[in-house]
Chain A
Amino acid sequence: MKRSEKSLHGLGAEFPTAASLLHAAQKVQALGFRRWDVYSPFPVHGMDQAMGFRRSRVSLFSLIGGITGLCTAFALIYYTSALNYPLITQGKPYFALEPSLPIFFELTILLTAFGTVLGLLLLTLLPRFHHPVFNWDRFQRVTDDGFFIVLEAADPQFSNETSRKVLQDIGGTHISEIFQDPEITPHPARPTSEVVS
């Protein structure tokens, strides 16, 4: 019992629709929970506000990537064409803005894309192949048609009894404990060939 409590990740509850998930999330946020999360097969409209998120910072990474790309393009063209080996071709200036614009543009776009993906991975801490929520057998449906809220044990407000009550009150069904350790979780952790039909 002690061991299982220690490795308790949190309490999970299932909701029937996107709308019920949104309303439930608004209530959880209003109750002041901090360590909790909502899981859905697609981004639910209005959920970011319901959970009290600020604007995503991915755009900052994109901006940094874009500026890096532009500077790289300028440095590359200027260094190679005007500094390192200036070569007259067709009587054109060694460096000019006009013929450089396509390269400026392309490298800005390329590094913006890299920055965006890097920012996404850093902010979401992905790839992460193991997570306690995967130990919950019902959770497989999150990529199909399942809507879930998980209240984490790490939250200062968390207690097994009151949090369970909260999940019941907001309309959650199939409330169950989710453990860090796949051995303890009552259901088979991952699908085997027999379980999934």
Chain B
Amino acid sequence: MRADNSSAQAAFAHASDYLERRPLVANRRPLSWITDHVCRIVEQPAPMWWWILTIFFGAMASLTPAMLTYLVSTGVGVWGLNVPVCWAWDITNFVFWIGIGHAGTLISAILFLTRQKWRTSINRSAEAMTIFAVICAGIFPAFHVGRVWMAWFLAPVPNANAIWQNFRSPLLWDVFAVSTYFTVSLIFWYLGLIPDLASLRDRAKTRFRQMAYGLLAMGWRGSNRHWTHYEKAYLILAGISTPLVLSVHSVVSFDFATSIVPGWHTTIFPPYFVAGAIFGGFAMVLTLLIPFREIYGLHDLVTDKHIDNMCKIILLTGSLVGYAYAMEFFIAWYSGNPFEIYAFTNRAFGPYWWAYWAMITCNVAAPQLFWFKYCRQNPWVVLAIVMFPNTGMWYERFVIIVTSIHRDFLPSSWGYFSPTWVDITLFIGTIGLFVFLFLLFVRFLPIINMFEVKNITPEADPHTQDSHSEQDSTISPPSSTKVHA
């Protein structure tokens, strides 16, 4: 009997080891430690690797204006697109970049509404990533219009032709969706930055830094008469960003889905695009976060638990995307429409078969490794695996766009698209621009949302605080101080 009891107890203790939620801030770091460790990144002199990387990616980013200048001064013919493939790398890159942005808003808005507290240490950098990705995205459709000096025709302002915009066109919806998305993301990001900018202001050692961060912090003083409005405003912005993020990629998918092109004309597109965007976005968040976590020693704030959670989201959305790929084929067969069936057979076994199977390998097969705990626990393995979705999501857009239009209804007008060096260099330029902007962000703004991370520490909760301080001196059980996420 006694032996039974003790073994039951042992089993219970064993089980509770597994059931115990891991704290979101490891090692019970005090509040000032959080401020110190995050602000230090901005306050210390820039390390050598930062200069090297920034100069390298800055040079790479300068390819963007160089190629755009060449494009505008010479003519759109320098891009490889031509009838029948009139949307090619430019629109592929646009959808690729805009999709990457989605993880940022998902983390900041949807995970906020669903009270996923682990979002707090990753939302700042993910939102920054969103903004930089949307900047990169915006370049492509703006120049794709051909005569870029007339891009303002997209805005509903009176022009010399006296003709207004066609509000029945999904391309115009896209203009509204992307510009709204950018603006609201920027507002949301800046609003979240204000209390942390005040931290930097109060720690500033030079007059210039104090003025710069002071101006940006708008005189924030942590007053509870402000916090009450601030929290409400943040909640509302999260509330409106949630349908917004789901709508943006849906509207992007309308660009394709409302056409009659086989391979594009599909009702599954909006959810399929949104799942893909979240998939690719989380992969990019991990790509950026894992190196900076290692460099700056942020393991206590961005814990293994955070990486594990993000890997699971990648696994889920990657599988959703895989389902969508399969369903497209099923519907093509089920429709009995020869053009539809041909479009998909051609996609997998036609001249662009290599792109299709690269996409399947990267987006469907590779993320399945995240079923294994080992793959989710080792950051370098994670970093290696997420490179597949990063690549695969670009291939997905290329496959959808180019394979659908290169062989449409009339075989006499079939063609094969190959990118020119300008296409390739411009895309490399936007990758440089993206990383360059992120490096500047890491250098000048707090990469972790300090006040929200403080808010999820055990000492921030006024209700557990009492029991904690009483017990702490006697037995200090770790369980009472865990944050229940």
Contacts and interface: CB of A to CB of B under 8 A. Distances in A.
A143 B202 contact: yes
A162 interface: no
Contacts of B220: 126, 143
Task: Using C-beta atoms within 8 Å of the partner chain, give the interface range for chain A.
Answer: 35 or more
A36 B143 CA distance: 55
Contact residues of B: prevailing secondary structure: helix
A65 to B, nearest CB: 10
Given A19-B462, A58-B232, A106-B176, A196 B205 contact: yes
Output the residue of B180, B463, B466 with the most chain A CB within 10 A: B180
Contact residues of A: prevailing secondary structure: helix
A117 interface: yes
A77 B167 CA distance: 7
A48 interface: yes
Interface string A118-156: 011001101111110110000111111100000000000
A102 B459 contact: no
Contacts of B165: 80
A181 to B, nearest CB: 18
A44 B224 contact: yes
A98 B164 CA distance: 19
Contacts of B202: 140-144, 191
B360 to A, nearest CB: 31
Nearest to A37: B223
Nearest to A130: B219
Contacts of B176: 102-103, 106-107
A190 B210 contact: yes
A170 to B, nearest CB: 14
Nearest to B170: A102
Given A87-B163, A127-B218, A140-B202, A43 B231 contact: yes
6 contacts: A43-B231, A44-B227, A120-B233, A142-B222, A145-B31, A145-B454
A133 B221 contact: yes
B413 interface: no
Interface of B: 30-32, 35, 156, 162-170, 172-173, 176-177, 180, 183-184, 187-188, 191, 195-196, 198-199, 201-206, 210, 214-215, 218-233, 236-237, 240, 243-244, 247, 251, 254, 451-452, 454-455, 459-463, 465-466, 469
Interface of A: 17-19, 21-23, 25, 37-48, 51, 53, 55-59, 62, 76-77, 80-81, 84-85, 87, 89-90, 92, 96, 99-100, 102-103, 105-107, 109-110, 112-114, 116-117, 119-120, 123-124, 126-131, 133-134, 139-145, 190-191, 193, 196
Given A56-B228, A110-B180, A196-B203, A191 B462 contact: no
Contact of A40 (B222, B229, B465, B469): B222
Contacts of A58: 229, 232-233, 236
Given A18-B465, A109-B180, A144-B203, 4 more contacts: A47-B224, A105-B243, A113-B187, A120-B191
Nearest to B231: A43
A43 B455 contact: yes
A58 B229 CA distance: 6
Given A106-B177, A140-B202, A144-B202, A120 B230 contact: yes
A134 B98 CA distance: 42
Given A112-B236, A124-B229, A193-B205, A85 B219 contact: no
Contact of B237 (A92, A96, A103, A116): A116
A193 B43 CA distance: 13
Contacts of B172: 103
Contacts of A109: 180, 184, 240, 243-244
Contact of A102 (B31, B188, B229, B247): B247
A44 to B, nearest CB: 6
